[in-house]
Amino acid sequence: MEEPIRIMITDDNEVVREGLISIFEGHKDLQVVGQAVDGLDALDKAEKLQPDIILMDGQMPRMDGPEAIRRIKKIMPDVKILFLTVYGDYAGDALAAGASWYLTKDCRRQDLLEAVRALAQSARLKAKPTS
């Protein structure tokens, strides 16, 4: 059995973070390993927690999502970052900074689960040695 997909959630809104955690609970292939309250916190925790996937908000205090993505990708180039935004705002900036994909926060629960699994699968395929 494969290891669960390790997820870190970054959002300055506690209700949003708790809601995202509840979406992943009960899925044996998914494990939330940490939370960050802003981009600076995400930068610090990502290196310590080594998640497979980081869910990243856009507008946050101290450091916004696109800047956090840029900095995280410099130290962890293989981590997959799923940018979550309200109306597609900052999506272009986040993708240019290194986000792997983006979804709007009004997406369906199933879309979020499928996106996380697809990003993790693409990372695992890339990591497999070729014969």
Predicted TM-score (pTM) above 0.75? yes
All domains in the chain, ordered by first residue: 5-127 (3.40.50.2300)
pLDDT tens digits along 70-118: 999 999 999 999 999 998 878 999 999 999 999 999 999 999 999 999 9
Contact between 65 and 11 (Cβ < 8 Å): no
Contact between 79 and 73 (Cβ < 8 Å): yes
